[in-house]
Each structure stands twice: as C-alpha cells, then as structure tokens.
C-alpha cells in the first residue's frame, strides 16, 4: 500500500469539513490527475459511500476513511497532507514528490533514474523561472546529454545552472553519471529568463 501521511491537524480539519457535508459514511479520496507527466496534480475530493471504487485502497484515519485511487497509488508514495492555521484561517498542503514520476528502485535503468531526478528535484526548481530540462540520451555509459527549454533556453545563466545545479545534483543522486552535456540551441533567447 502507498505510504500517504496525513498529519493530525490535517485529519482534524478534513473531518470538520466532512461533518459539514452531513452525509453518513463520507470519506476523502486522494488521487493524481495526469500522473507521471509534468502536468500531474495531486487532489483531494469528498468521497460519499456511493462513489467508493472497489479497487481503491482504504486507510482508516479514525474520523473518516481515506481512499487512495488505485491508478494513482504508485504516484502517491511518500505523499504528505498537512494543515496549518494562519491569520486567514488555515492552509491545507498536499505534497506528492512522486506524482510526476513514480518512485523508482535503485537498480532501475540509468535513464529512468536520471529522468526521476530531473522530474522530482531539478525541474521543480527550474519551473520558478519557467524553465525545464530533459534527458536526450546517455552517451559513453556515464554522460547525460540534456536539452533545456522554456526560460532556460537562451538564458545567460544556463552554464551556471548546468554546472552548479543540474550536474552536481545528478552526480550526487546518480553516481554513475560523471558529466552532463547541453545540446540546447541557446541562440534563441525569446523566452530566456535572463537575457
């Protein structure tokens, strides 16, 4: 079963919301839309008894049942739901680090492990500048050939990003990688974050 952590404050908050629905047996379903893609989003929704799917995994949270959408389970590994009170009322936070790419084993093929690190660690950071990076291929058994896009393509800081960000992270997380090579055409600066 997928490991989804729901903190006590989140459980209590969701239980209060469910109680207001006044539906006997109401639960909450957690699922990922477009799982395994860069557009993946983790969602929570009410789950009345007539909408329970037999293949859903069920987690008894004492105050209600959490239903894990069967197709989303690999992408919900290590998901975390929390609630914190603030001046405006509160903030429900859902983090699912494997929503865009399911967690893979240490013995997975090298390209899969590189893609996992790109999707789960590097691209979320580049997204703040509208950028992204993708694996083109692995050459010489240890060199990751990458292509930058979005705000990274043509960006004047891409060499710094490549060496200090992308390459150092990949080499740390995937020890078989000894170097990275950028094959992006950086002459196109139309979307560059820094020109």
Which residues define the annotated binding site?
A: 152, 155
CA 137 to chain CA mean position, Å: 22
State the pTM of this model. 0.61
Domain with CATH 2.60.300.12 in the chain: 4-95
Which residues define the annotated binding site for [4Fe-4S] cluster?
A: 152, 155
Torsion angle, CA of 101/104/110/114, rounded to 10 degrees? 40
Right CATH number for 110-182 from 3.30.300.130, 2.40.30.10, 3.40.50.970, 3.10.20.30? 3.30.300.130
Q: Are 114 and 170 in contact (CB under 8 A)?
A: yes
The token duo for 64 is 């209600």
Q: For 19-72, what is each residue's pLDDT tens digit?
A: 999 999 999 999 999 888 778 899 999 999 999 999 999 999 999 999 999 999
Q: For 143-153, what is each residue's pLDDT tens digit?
A: 999 887 776 65
Domain spanning 4-95: which CATH class is it, in words?
Answer: mainly beta
């Amino acid at each position: 079963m997928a490991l989804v952590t729901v903190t006590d404050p989140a459980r209590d908050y969701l239980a209060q919301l469910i109680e207001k629905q006044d539906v006997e047996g109401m639960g909450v379903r957690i699922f990922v839309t477009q799982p395994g893609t860069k557009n993946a989003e983790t969602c929570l929704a009410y789950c009345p008894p007539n909408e329970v799917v037999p293949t859903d995994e069920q987690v008894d949270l004492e105050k209600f049942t959490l239903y894990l959408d069967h197709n989303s389970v690999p992408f919900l590994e290590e998901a975390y739901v929390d609630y914190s009170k603030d001046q405006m009322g509160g903030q429900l936070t859902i983090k699912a680090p494997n929503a865009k790419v399911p967690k893979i084993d240490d013995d997975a093929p090298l390209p899969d492990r590189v893609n996992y690190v790109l999707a789960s660690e590097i691209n979320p950071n580049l997204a703040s500048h509208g950028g992204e990076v993708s694996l083109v291929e692995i050459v010489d058994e240890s060199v990751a050939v990458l292509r930058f896009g979005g705000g990274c393509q043509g960006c004047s800081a891409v060499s710094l990003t490549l060496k200090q960000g992308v390459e150092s992270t990949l080499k740390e997380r995937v020890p078989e990688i000894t170097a990275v090579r950028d094959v992006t055409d950086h002459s196109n600066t139309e979307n560059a974050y820094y020109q």
